[in-house]
Structure 1
Amino acid sequence: MQEWTKERIRKETSWEAFKRGEALVAAGKIPEMTERQGILVGLFIEGRTKIRTTVKTRGVLEVVCSCRENRTTGGVCAHAVAMLLSRLAEKSPAARVQPKTEPRRAPAKLRAVAVQFLPRWQRALTAGALSVQIQWDEAMPEEGESALTRWWDQWGSGAPSAHPLHLKGEVLGAFLRALRTHPRVLSAEGPLESGGVEPLHLLDSQWTDQGLQLRGEPVARHLVQVPGWMGWIEGLSWGGLDEENFDASTVDRLRGLLESGRALVPRARIQQELQAWLDLSSEPRPGWLGSLRLETAPPRVEIHIEGSLNALDARILVEPPEASSPESGRWITEEPGHRENLLEALRGQGFAPRESDLWVIREPEEAVSFLANELDRWKSRWDLRIGSKLSHVLQSLHVIRPVVAPVEGGRLSVDISFQTGGGKTIPRAKVLELIRSGRVSNRTSSGAQVVVAREVFEDFEPLAAELGIAGPEGRVALSPAQFIGLQSRQGTSSGQPWRAPQYPALHELNGVSLRDYQTEGVAWLADRLEALGGALLGDEMGLGKTLQTIGVMKLLRSKKAGWKALVVVPSSLLANWEEEVARFAPGLRVVRLHGADRDERRNQPADVFLTSYATLVRDLAFHRQADYDLMVLDEAGAIRNPTSETAKTVVKIPAHYRLALSGTPVENRLLDLWSIFRFVSPGYLGSREDFSGRYDGQGGSSKRLASRIAPFFLRRTKAQVAADLPGKSFADVVLELAPKDRAIYQEIAQAGLSKMEEMKEEGAARMHLLTVLLRLRQFCLSPELLQPDWAVGEKVHWLKEFLEARADQGKKTLVFSQFSQFLKKIQPRLSEDSGRIFHLDGSTTQRGEVVKAFQNHGGPAVFLISLKAGGYGLNLTAADAVVHMDPWWNPAAESQANDRAHRIGQTLPVSIYRLLMRDSVEERVRRLQNSKQSLIEGVNGGEQGTGWSAEDLRGLLLGSDTMGPGRG
């Protein structure tokens, strides 16, 4: 930390996060921290929430925190700031907070081994005092103990001893904060549990003219308030409350609810108190709180910019979104991340803060770059106001941009030029000369400033090279793919469609209206299939790729007699496809070529032959003799391994048009996409070796590849096209291994590590490592999976309670696990109180009937689903909650499972719970999932992420110090 200063910390984060971090330090809310090899790890306790923060301080600052701010923006959050400031203060004696009393001369090593609350501690603590005895030892503090050592260093008087301490006021508040993570707190009645107080169980909540009426069962729980700490005690449990959500009136209402079972939150107070009551109460919440639609909206941002080509001033005004209306059942809060994105955009363009609302640029080069490249983008993002002086200056700024204009009457020909905003053409050679010289701006003799827009050298020229267009200038004849690829660039074409629609717009199928984006998707697919011969539909799961494909088949068949298609799907989706075609296009004759009797059906008249991937491989000889007008691959990820028999088979079957469907075209590596495109448009992405050399592992490769495949690839997300789809929320539920189970877990991990280090052959060591990781994951799920006489896991207990509570509300739940034997084991343990139990795994034969039964069941129900068997194609919108019992290596698999419930047709917000065991391989898998997500989303503009390397796998076994923070 020697190289860190307060000023450097300030520059690494947003102004708001820095101020909140300072506030945490000032309030003494500093976590128990450990530091090893330049990595700080801390655990904050905020009410009932535990927030784990990891900060890498060597080199580039990297932060991984479970708080909402870091998970949303990936930036340096207030918790990281607090940890950095606290550690900086520890290493700078002049910066220490001075003690209120005369400090004792503490030994170099001091450890609080145990803390004993003296008799009648509940009554004393309720009255604002506490008597304790602390057992000290001259040794280095262990995990969870150093906070109490720091407390004594600040507040203690004289030499530490076992004599009783009588605490009150600020000293007591600081003591209770320091005690939150201590592992051994005792009383005469037994061990005390910090943070173990259960949430309130409300019986009802109703919105009335007076405000929010709350009703609960009176409980023997006592509120405690001392300076700097607020919390409650119940039996031998005690826990703190987040003081930011509580004031005196809130506490009074809470005390009334505990004592009488009733409380009224006045209308005028609901804005301030709603979050507190949501945090206090357990799910599912009854009445108004349970039905409340929690929504977010962006803040209003107004930016006033004034200045010249040499310097700019930007004044920022940010206002919260519209007020909420409790009567409507909607509660609107500010969408997270917008303020951080604004600050990031300001810093990214060279603006520096001067005052709370004033940001400035003082470098002429940065000012000109911003005005030329970003000003118009900012106008589309925020309410931008240009000052009169700057408006005049902009008249002398001429920005050179590429212009692509289709030639009238010249099919697939365009005129390419480089022009200023005033329409003056600049020769491409002159533009490239400016770029090569490193001077992208130049002042003319008349005083005007000419600037080459960043899009010329960062976007247009690379795109032209990617599409194989050499020396793009003047009139150029293009292939369909080149033409469409160029036209897809916003702002470089006339905006006209590249050709007239070849089919009428399809707005309904068999009386069922299509959504606008589905109508557009059908038209796009038909156009690209005819123009390019192939297409890849990558819509997010749940947006109706099957429906759009059926629409395309109907359009194509209308133009040709004897038309026929081959649709290849996972065997689990055969019934679903038959039902969907029968429902939306009953005029299409479907023949299923699957099963032992499929040979008898080959000669039946059909418009659509339906088969599975496995059957297709066996029937290759038959299909090679066919002449299909269209071949469709559903869940085209099945061919992502180009060396597999399935991938080799699909490219051997003749078809006039080829269509691939996949919501996750890249799951593990960019080569997945090459394999799919070998089917969609053979040869378009070159050989496998050429593709790997061009895109694999190179900076910016995902963006270049996205440009390359754009003519063939269409992807929409729910956020883009299904604004009426209810929201989706995520919660990581972190549970603790029992001490005995923790010891067994460590034994398994250590034994596996020792054996792995003995192995000399790398491949064998890797396989052994994967086996050990599998055993650890099974152990986290439930120890009995490894040995029958071992304990039932904490996850099973949590699940039973969770499902029983949801059953009381008549809710349906999906429960996913990759271990089908686990699902079979817990099925008989889920009582009738959980609702009707359904089960689906790879051995289920009547999938369609099971799904229908779950969807149509009138009461509460639970669907236990093997992740691999149930991740594709199923529509389970009757459920509004998804529970993942164990994290899967590939986040795309989890996304597919989530979208069984969160898809078109869902009317309720969907809650997704991921169960993780603390300090285990599961938490590390979760972090590595995030790093892999960048690869999965890469073709949509992100950078390529990393796969599961040997180092990643070793880090899963050894822990976060080996992995390093920031990987996820």
Structure 2
Amino acid sequence: MRIPNRIFSANGFDFWANKVLLDWESRFPEDVLLRGRKLYKSGVIRSVELKKGFATLITQPREERYFILEWDNEIQIRSSHSTDDLQAFAVAGLYEIEALLAEYTMGFPQRDAHITSEGLPQVTHRRPASTTKLALQLSLIGEGLRLDFASKENVALDHREHLVRLSHLSRKAGFFKCGNGFLLSSPYRIWVFVKQHLPKWKMLFDLTVPESVEKLLRDPEVIRIQLDKVGSGLSVQATFLKKPIDSALQKHLLKAKDEWVLLPGHGIVRLAKEDQQVWQQLEGLDHVPLYLSINTPLERSEELEAWQRSLLDLDGTLLEKEHPLLRPYQIKGVRWIKHLLNHQCGALLADEMGLGKTAQILGVLSEMSLTKPVLLLAPATVVSVWETEAAHFYPTLNLRKWDPTMPLDSGIYVTSYSQARRSAKKLQAVDFQCVILDEAQCIKNPKSKIAQVCCLLKTDGRIALTGTPIENALSDIWSLFHFLMPGLFHQNVKALHEHANRVAFQQKIAPFVLRRTKKEVLRELPEKVEIAVPCFLSEKQQHLYSQWIESGKAVFGNTFEKAKDNRIHFFALLTRLRQIACDPGLVYPDRPIQQSAKWVMLEKLLCEGFQNGHKVLIFSQFLQFLLRLKPAIQKAFPKVDCFELNGKTLHRKVIVDAFQNHRGPCAFLISLKTGGTGITLNTADSVILLDSWWNPFVEQQAIDRAHRIGQKKKVFVYRLIATQTIEDNVYKLQHAKSLLSDAVIGNLSDASLLENHFPAVLQCLRPLQNVL
């Protein structure tokens, strides 16, 4: 006999399973039941579809008819043919639904298994109740809790009610069909089933329950993950009832997808998801450093707890030498770095520029007993500064400039980032005692070649120096800590947003960052006064600027909405606009310098400054602008010396020393990129920034060439800003970036801007149109 098509949703299955468990046959007269059973046995119904609230029945194609069976408070049926024996078809339909539920539960291949060929049972209005319980057995296997029929051959027609009940209850408990039986795979649902449902099942069915399942009635034990100190690293051990778990079961726990775990031989246990995630991260490391135990939810041994208490106790580290040339706060910095290195942690010295970070590192190096080489990486323009400062502060320190022809023995070697990039293979083959990064913002892009080279260096200790640990976004400091303390943050920089919560983020970095400002530690340092000087474009300059604006709109749209789709050309437009705002001659070389509103303002400032005997630093990012200004300054002030420093300067130190030793008023034209770091110009007392840069920290570095240790006078800083131009927006952007740095590093208490802070240039796209 043909088996009808069966279609059902989960909600529909559960709805009808609940209904047919009721004594529905008593709702029909005896003669209707007999006619309905005849229709059911004849196989006239060829399709059944169950939905929540109603079922659709379809008869054989030869006389195809549709029936809608509904059951709210009463059983109702509607047909596509008004002459049908609707009540009989309702009975046939309910039998067919019972068969669907029972066959799904048992997996019967044919309907003959539950309707015999000997005719209908001789009953009055209902089938006889089953005299025996359905025999079932439970077993605990690796995949979960399995439910089987004790003997499938003994299941007969009079068990149909039990089969329907079994189908309903098993689905409600979370079992699903698995071969000839059912499987409950979720450990948590297994525990709920044993605690809440098993007693009822024992009353309804002849249920065999092994001892291994009965034991699950106990509340699950919690798996503890404990960290212990082993040498300079950590060991990770999972324990059950305070006893270690073997490695095979540990692998099982590591792969678990739920907090509730069915652990072979131990029943159901619980492993906190956060514990498992930390455990998985640590298991993926060849060496687990001690600092990864900080701020984790895992349990720590007493020895590890003692190590952490020691880490926070700076008084436990003493200096072995005198440091007569260092100031008290610098000596504290030396102790702090030495303390972290002694505890196998990295150190980020983020003092404000001008506080002598170089001298502090030299102090740390003087404290070391060198058994292996120390590598110090710095921008090429700063390498000679290290040699000079070492000779001044610690003349006996064995610090040398390194090139690839030199062997690396137990000395201190300083070289440039570019040289390190070219010599990556040779340096990565050496086991260093310490690697130090000066101007560490050079590795802020974790995808850059130099960042990758630095992170792959083998070393016992790591130190980073920078006055600007965050220039654009939180990813800057991620890159620094990826070098300093691998694994402290997520391996993927995109996942760092998880730590945008101010408390969690700052708790994690606080022990390893030292940031002091001049206001805090140099009370004797003269005041710094910053003044924004508006420059109104000349008529010809304004005309050129407007022309470039209109050409930009023609390419990127009136509101510059297409800028993101063509960033390279958009950057070119921004550069041209900023150049014209400085000096039209940067775009049109035949234009005289007198058309520049900034030259007009600069001449006024220099005139006043020279008359008062000031030594003036003049910074610009545009080298061509400086080259055009020099003859103009020499012509306007023929009796005043004018120094120059840019990327083409060969004898940098000679020029710097000449300016430092010069008496009387003078000017020093400096390329922002070349002279913004690594030099001391504290005999200057005036700084003029000709053009605003996206990054305020680059400008701050330039200012701090003058406003630093040794400065005796008040320092005046003049920012020349071309009004009603892109420079207005750059200036506003600088303020936002300063807030970011202050939030994260300045006082380690406010990281509210982290998550939404985008890279600087892209941020400028949005507000640009308002100015243009």
Scaled to the shorter chain, the TM-score interval is 0.5 to 0.7
Q: Secondary structure at the match of 2:721?
A: strand
8 Å contact from structure 1 (residues 898, 912) kept in 2: yes
The corresponding residue for 2:73 is: none
Q: Which has the higher contact order (CA 8 A, sep 6+)?
A: 2
The corresponding residue for 1:8 is: none
The aligned runs of 1:206-355 (5 Å cut-off) are none
The corresponding residue for 2:644 is: 839
Unpaired segments of 5 or more residues in structure 1? 1-411, 413-463, 488-496, 963-968
What is the alpha-carbon distance in structure 2 between the residues aligned to residue 749 and residue 476 of structure 1?
68
1:820 to 623, 627, 648: 623
8 Å contact from structure 1 (residues 932, 947) kept in 2: no
What is the alpha-carbon distance in structure 1 between the residues aligned to residue 439 and residue 292 of structure 2?
31
The corresponding residue for 2:546 is: 746
Question: Quick one: structure 1 residues 583 and 953, their matched pair in 2 at CA, closer, same or farther if it must change by over 3 Å?
Answer: same
The aligned runs of 1:924-943 (5 Å cut-off) are 924-940=729-745, 941-942=749-750, 943=752
The corresponding residue for 1:612 is: 416
Aligned: 1:790 with 2:591? yes
The corresponding residue for 1:944 is: 753
What is the alpha-carbon distance in structure 2 between the residues aligned to residue 725 and residue 482 of structure 1?
37
Q: CA offsets per residue over residues 878-929 of structure 1, 9 Å max, x none?
A: 1001000000100011111110000011010110000011111111110111
What is the alpha-carbon distance in structure 2 between the residues aligned to residue 739 and residue 480 of structure 1?
72
Look up the equivalent residue of 1:786 and give its one-letter code.
V
The corresponding residue for 1:881 is: 686
The corresponding residue for 1:351 is: none
Q: CA offsets per residue over residues 483-513 of structure 1, 9 Å max, x none?
A: 478x5xxxxxxxxx366224336432xxx3x
Q: Secondary structure at the match of 1:657?
A: strand
Aligned: 1:852 with 2:657? yes
Question: Quick one: structure 1 residues 754 and 843, their matched pair in 2 at CA, closer, same or farther if it must change by over 3 Å?
Answer: same
Question: Quick one: structure 1 residues 526 and 783, their matched pair in 2 at CA, closer, same or farther if it must change by over 3 Å?
Answer: same
> Whose helix fraction is larger, Structure 1's or Structure 2's?
2
Q: Number of residues paired by the alignment?
A: 473
What is the alpha-carbon distance in structure 1 between the residues aligned to residue 535 and residue 696 of structure 2?
21
The corresponding residue for 2:363 is: 551
8 Å contact from structure 1 (residues 925, 956) kept in 2: no
Question: Quick one: structure 1 residues 824 and 585, their matched pair in 2 at CA, closer, same or farther if it must change by over 3 Å?
Answer: same
The corresponding residue for 2:389 is: 580
Q: Normalising by the residue count of structure 2, what TM-score does the alignment of the two structures yield?
A: 0.58
Question: Quick one: structure 1 residues 847 and 478, their matched pair in 2 at CA, closer, same or farther if it must change by over 3 Å?
Answer: same
8 Å contact from structure 1 (residues 650, 679) kept in 2: yes
The corresponding residue for 2:375 is: 566
What is the alpha-carbon distance in structure 1 between the residues aligned to residue 513 and residue 639 of structure 2?
44
The corresponding residue for 2:496 is: 692
Alignment RMSD (CA, Å): 2.8
Deviates more, 1:911-920 or 1:617-626: 617-626
What is the alpha-carbon distance in structure 1 between the residues aligned to residue 516 and residue 639 of structure 2?
37
The corresponding residue for 2:188 is: none
Aligned: 1:533 with 2:353? no
What is the alpha-carbon distance in structure 2 between the residues aligned to residue 865 and residue 632 of structure 1?
28
The corresponding residue for 2:147 is: none
What is the alpha-carbon distance in structure 1 between the residues aligned to residue 390 and residue 315 of structure 2?
30
Look up the equivalent residue of 2:764 and give its one-letter code.
L
Look up the equivalent residue of 1:569 and give its one-letter code.
A
What is the alpha-carbon distance in structure 1 between the residues aligned to residue 447 and residue 398 of structure 2?
34
8 Å contact from structure 2 (residues 685, 716) kept in 1: yes
The corresponding residue for 1:958 is: 769
What is the alpha-carbon distance in structure 1 between the residues aligned to residue 414 and residue 762 of structure 2?
43
Look up the equivalent residue of 2:535 and give its one-letter code.
L
8 Å contact from structure 1 (residues 466, 704) kept in 2: no
- How far 1:934 sits from its partner (Å)? 1.9
What is the alpha-carbon distance in structure 1 between the residues aligned to residue 438 and residue 306 of structure 2?
25
What is the alpha-carbon distance in structure 1 between the residues aligned to residue 497 and residue 704 of structure 2?
35
The corresponding residue for 2:508 is: 708
8 Å contact from structure 1 (residues 506, 551) kept in 2: no
Q: Secondary structure at the match of 1:830?
A: helix
The corresponding residue for 1:663 is: 467
The corresponding residue for 1:771 is: 572
Aligned: 1:634 with 2:438? yes
Look up the equivalent residue of 1:727 and give its one-letter code.
E
- How far 1:799 sits from its partner (Å)? 1.3
Look up the equivalent residue of 2:316 and give its one-letter code.
A
What is the alpha-carbon distance in structure 1 between the residues aligned to residue 380 and residue 302 of structure 2?
47
- How far 1:468 sits from its partner (Å)? 2.8
8 Å contact from structure 1 (residues 726, 909) kept in 2: yes
What is the alpha-carbon distance in structure 2 between the residues aligned to residue 900 and residue 479 of structure 1?
44
- How far 1:624 sits from its partner (Å)? 2.2
What is the alpha-carbon distance in structure 2 between the residues aligned to residue 772 and residue 647 of structure 1?
30
8 Å contact from structure 1 (residues 534, 680) kept in 2: yes
- How far 1:776 sits from its partner (Å)? 0.8
- How far 1:640 sits from its partner (Å)? 0.6
What is the alpha-carbon distance in structure 1 between the residues aligned to residue 742 and residue 387 of structure 2?
31
8 Å contact from structure 1 (residues 591, 606) kept in 2: no
- How far 1:606 sits from its partner (Å)? 6.3
Question: Quick one: structure 1 residues 834 and 870, their matched pair in 2 at CA, closer, same or farther if it must change by over 3 Å?
Answer: farther
2:317 to 488, 494, 501: 501
Q: CA offsets per residue over residues 751-786 of structure 1, 9 Å max, x none?
A: 102211299976542222221111111001011111
- How far 1:950 sits from its partner (Å)? 7.4
The corresponding residue for 2:402 is: 593
Q: Secondary structure at the match of 2:533?
A: strand
What is the alpha-carbon distance in structure 2 between the residues aligned to residue 949 and residue 690 of structure 1?
17
Look up the equivalent residue of 1:846 and give its one-letter code.
H
What is the alpha-carbon distance in structure 2 between the residues aligned to residue 627 and residue 950 of structure 1?
39
Q: Secondary structure at the match of 1:937?
A: helix
Q: Secondary structure at the match of 2:629?
A: helix
Aligned: 1:735 with 2:535? yes
Look up the equivalent residue of 1:773 and give its one-letter code.
L
Q: Secondary structure at the match of 1:862?
A: strand
Unpaired segments of 5 or more residues in structure 2? 1-232, 234-290
1:725 to 510, 525, 536: 525
Larger radius of gyration: 2
The corresponding residue for 2:84 is: none
8 Å contact from structure 1 (residues 924, 959) kept in 2: no
8 Å contact from structure 1 (residues 640, 676) kept in 2: yes
What is the alpha-carbon distance in structure 2 between the residues aligned to residue 505 and residue 590 of structure 1?
18
The corresponding residue for 1:803 is: 606
Question: Quick one: structure 1 residues 785 and 794, their matched pair in 2 at CA, closer, same or farther if it must change by over 3 Å?
Answer: same
What is the alpha-carbon distance in structure 2 between the residues aligned to residue 480 and residue 777 of structure 1?
57
- How far 1:798 sits from its partner (Å)? 1.8
What is the alpha-carbon distance in structure 1 between the residues aligned to residue 599 and residue 391 of structure 2?
41
Q: CA offsets per residue over residues 1-29 of structure 1, 9 Å max, x none?
A: xxxxxxxxxxxxxxxxxxxxxxxxxxxxx
Question: Quick one: structure 1 residues 479 and 830, their matched pair in 2 at CA, closer, same or farther if it must change by over 3 Å?
Answer: farther
2:697 to 873, 877, 892: 892
8 Å contact from structure 2 (residues 694, 760) kept in 1: no
Question: Quick one: structure 1 residues 919 and 888, their matched pair in 2 at CA, closer, same or farther if it must change by over 3 Å?
Answer: same
The corresponding residue for 2:633 is: 830
Look up the equivalent residue of 1:564 and give its one-letter code.
P
Q: Secondary structure at the match of 1:724?
A: coil
- How far 1:738 sits from its partner (Å)? 2.0
What is the alpha-carbon distance in structure 1 between the residues aligned to residue 365 and residue 304 of structure 2?
29
